[in-house]
Amino acid sequence: MPDDGLVIENTSKLFASFAALQSVHLCIERGQFVLLAGANGAGKSTLLRLMAGISRPSSGRVLIDGKDPQRDATARSAIGFLSHHTLLYDDLSAEENLGFFARIYALKNPQQKIDEALKQVGLSSHRHRRLRTFSRGMRQRLALARATLHQPVILLLDEPFTGLDQPARTALSEQLCELKQAGHTCIMVTHNLEEGAPLANRLVVLRKGCLCHDQAWEGSAADLSATCAPFWDGLR
Amino acid sequence: MKKNILVDKIMPPLVCISMLMALAAALLYAPTEKVMGDTQRIFYFHVPAAISAFICFFLVFIGSIQYLRTRYAHWDRLARCAAELGVLFGLIVLVTGPLWAKPIWGVYWRWEPRLTSMLIAFSIYVAYLMLRTQGASGGQTPRIASVLGIVAFINVPLVHYSVDLWAADQQLHPQRNVDLQPEMLYALYVCFAAFFLLLALLLRRRIELAKIEEAVEKMRQRLATGMDY
Amino acid sequence: MSFFSLLVLLVFNFSFELGGAALHEIGPGVLWSAFVFACLLGLNRSFADERENHSLDALLMAPGDRGAIYLGKMAANLIFLLAVELICLPFFALFFNLSPGFFILPLLGVLVLGSACLSAAGTLFAALSSTMRLRELLLPLLLLPIILPALISCVKATGLVLDNQFGPALYPHLKMLAVYAIVFVTLSLMLFEYAIEE
């Protein structure tokens, strides 16, 4: 088992008696771009939350560079998570939100990092506006800025293209490409196969909480669709 | 369910016999108390019920700590069942207390330290049970209840101390260091034994019932979703 | 929250026939009842932002100790509660005809200690109840019996201070409040992680 990278060791997650994940075993090395696919209810978001250290596994363990993110602060600071929700505060402005997270992560030169982050997602001119006034797409972009502000080594992305218009999708794809080339580890859940296929170099498919496909990947969106099709049955 | 000879065949008649012995000891064997008369005999059920209630609260505490440490469902089950029995024995104390108080103090209830402490502890564990039944937070209930179970028990000595402070001048309840005649002491020991056996049997039975309830719920989920797990 | 406390004081005024001796007996109880109800209102809102925006997840991923979240929330709740109390106190003195005296500082001391106790326990329970279905109902049901030891001492201590009894009668109650606050802060720091995890 590699000591660096992300290891999911025979992990299960139960909610009451419902098994969202069952004995999932996965080793993700540094620099890989993993596409996590599966039907709705397959357990993809649950798996991402376990990796982020937000959720505790019912059995098994999650290790980031050999450390448990539930217990170890350095393991947690290696992760950036872009969730279904923005995880931002509606009553604060864009700059205040990023400032809050910069303080939480104890970043050096926080103002500079905030300025760069806002510029990268194209929200510099909206920095003083309250999040409440942002559109869905703008919120998603700010959420990405929050997730990458502390320059995490591992980026977890849960449906990052949702709510984005075409220019924003293109910009996000470019940003993810840069991160991939820079050697960051990315694990992305997406139903948007056109965006996912060019980026991924590994495909993991979940079905009803179980891991049913885990291989290196290279191909087009059509190939991806064909590969995933057999596992698309049995919506929960 | 696995059949356990001790629990299924031996304990029930043993508990019956011990309860009958306790009744005999309390009502017949023990001498009449010279100040309070025959009313005092309720003491032989009131005190063991109180101690049993606190044993249950302690079991909730242990079960809660162990559940948070190990996440094994049987610890959570122990905590839940012990809380129910703790409330039951607490209710016995709160009913027998006033029944004893009326002839002696002239009123059913007085806000004196012991009774007040018991009432507060009782209401904490009733709230625990309400959390268990009404909480319904999608599988998070055992974790939340465990935190409450730990806080509730730590709170018990705080309750005792603060109520004692508050009503130091209202100390009407008989104190621990009351001298008891040997016969009274023996009767009390018999009643303690009877109550502890009853507690053990009820707890075991309640835990078995809880396991059956969980198995039924799991089967119902499997049928509802058509899943095979 | 302050206005709510004032309304509670009003309600109590009409609920009891107040005058003279009765005032002295029940005044502290009325005051602390108003504070407790205001505290419950505040606690319900305590984790509301995190719940609505799901930003608790972001806090859980933060590199620091999770107890820091508890301490931050507790400090915020304490400050709000103290603010409410300071606003209500002059009105309380007005409605209940208290003449200003030397009891102001000791009274503030009791308020600070009492509020620390309420915030310490309340923040933990607010975190616990934030994930529950009937949270607005369950929070008071769970919290009120737990804070009774502190409340009893708060009321007693306030009564003694208003009666200008600063001597040996007061210290056990202050000690009780200090012990309660320390016990609950320690306990909450140990249990908070379990209260907010998934």
A66: domain CATH number is 3.40.50.300
pLDDT at A236: 33
Q: In the structure, what pLDDT confidence band is assigned to residue A180 with cuts at 50, 70 and 90?
A: confident
Inside any domain, residue A51: yes
Neighbours of chain A (3+ CB pairs under 8 A): B, C
- Do the chains contact at C198 and B147, CB–CB below 8 Å? no
Please state the length of chain C: 198
**Closest CA in chain A for residue C54:** A87
Q: Is C194 on the interface with B (CB under 8 A)?
A: yes
Inside any domain, residue B142: yes
Q: How far apart are CA C76 and CA C41, in angstroms?
A: 14
B55 CB-side CA count, 13 A: 16
Average pLDDT over residues B67-87: 94
**Sign of the CA dihedral running C196, A185, A167, A101:** positive
Which domain covers residue C130, as residue numbers?
2-196
Burial status of residue A9 (CB atoms within 10 A of its CB: 0-12, 13-18, 19 or more): middle
User: How many domains does one find in chain B?
Assistant: 1
Min Cα–Cα distance to chain B from A52, Å? 19
Work out the mean pLDDT of chain B and round it to a whole number.
86
- What CA dihedral angle connects C85, C86, C88 and C89, to 10 degrees? 110
Residues 107-166 in A contacting B (C-alpha not used; CB under 8 Å): none
Identify which of A189-193, B180-184, C192-196 has the greatest average pLDDT.
Answer: C192-196
Among B119, B126, B162, B169, the strongest candidate for a mutation testing the C interface, having the largest count of C CBs within 10 A, is B162
Each residue of B94-103: pLDDT tens digit? 999 888 888 8
Inside any domain, residue B15: no
Inside any domain, residue B26: no
Decide if pLDDT at B187 tops 60: yes
- Do the chains contact at B214 and A236, CB–CB below 8 Å? no
Residues of chain C contacting residue A51, judged by C-beta atoms under 8 Å apart: none
Decide if pLDDT at B184 tops 80: yes
Nearest to B136 among C133, C141, C146 (CB): C133
Minimal CA–CA distance to A24: which of A9, A39, A40, A35? A9
User: How many domains does one find in chain C?
Assistant: 1
SS3 content of chain A, % helix, strand, coil (to 5): 40, 25, 35
Inside any domain, residue B217: yes
Q: In the structure, what pLDDT confidence band is assigned to residue B168 with cuts at 50, 70 and 90?
A: low
H or E stretch at A25: strand A18-28
Among B111, B158, B160, B170, the strongest candidate for a mutation testing the C interface, having the largest count of C CBs within 10 A, is B158
Residues 128-187 in C contacting B (C-alpha not used; CB under 8 Å): 128, 131-134, 137-138, 141-142, 145-146, 148-150, 152-153, 156, 172-173, 176, 179-180, 183, 187
Decide if pLDDT at A219 tops 80: no
Inside any domain, residue B3: no
Work out the mean pLDDT of chain A and round it to a whole number.
85
Identify which of A15-19, A69-73, A90-94, B110-114 has the greatest average pLDDT.
Answer: A90-94
Q: Is A152 on the interface with C (CB under 8 A)?
A: no
Among B67, B144, B219, B227, the strongest candidate for a mutation testing the A interface, having the largest count of A CBs within 10 A, is B227
pLDDT at B171: 57
Min Cα–Cα distance to chain A from B8, Å? 29
Residues of chain C contacting residue A81, judged by C-beta atoms under 8 Å apart: 57-58, 61
pLDDT at C18: 58
Which domain covers residue B126, as residue numbers?
43-168+178-189+200-225
Q: Is B159 on the interface with C (CB under 8 A)?
A: yes
Decide if pLDDT at C137 tops 70: yes
Q: How far apart are CA C114 and CA C150, in angstroms?
A: 7
With beta carbons less than 8 A apart as the criterion, state whether C149 and B162 touch. Answer: yes
User: What crossing angle do the helices spanning C104-129 and C171-196 adopt, rounded to 10°?
Assistant: 20
Under 8 Å CB-to-CB from A176, ≥6 apart: which residues? A33, A157, A160, A186, A188, A199
Residue with the bigger pLDDT between A64 and C100: it is A64
User: How many domains does one find in chain A?
Assistant: 1
Q: How far apart are CA A57 and CA A12, in angstroms?
A: 6
% of residues, chain B, pLDDT over 70: 89
Decide if pLDDT at A233 tops 70: no
Inside any domain, residue A181: yes
Inside any domain, residue B117: yes
Which domain covers residue A10, as residue numbers?
6-231
Inside any domain, residue A236: no
Residues of chain C contacting residue A55, judged by C-beta atoms under 8 Å apart: 197-198
H or E stretch at A189: strand A185-189
Residues of chain B contacting residue A208, judged by C-beta atoms under 8 Å apart: 227
pLDDT at C70: 94
User: What crossing angle do the helices spanning C104-129 and C135-162 adopt, rounded to 10°?
Assistant: 170
Q: In the structure, what pLDDT confidence band is assigned to residue A1 with cuts at 50, 70 and 90?
A: very low
Residues of chain C contacting residue A49, judged by C-beta atoms under 8 Å apart: 57, 198
Inside any domain, residue A217: yes
Inside any domain, residue B84: yes
pLDDT at B113: 80
pLDDT at B207: 95
Decide if pLDDT at A178 tops 80: yes
Backbone angles phi, psi at A214, to 5 degrees: -150, 95
State pTM to two decimals.
0.87
Pairing of strands A202-207, A210-216: antiparallel
Min Cα–Cα distance to chain B from A116, Å? 40
Minimal CA–CA distance to A146: which of A192, A205, A103? A103
Burial status of residue C143 (CB atoms within 10 A of its CB: 0-12, 13-18, 19 or more): buried
Average pLDDT over residues A133-154: 89
Q: How far apart are CA A186 and CA A192, in angstroms?
A: 16
- Do the chains contact at B162 and C148, CB–CB below 8 Å? yes
Decide if pLDDT at A2 tops 70: no
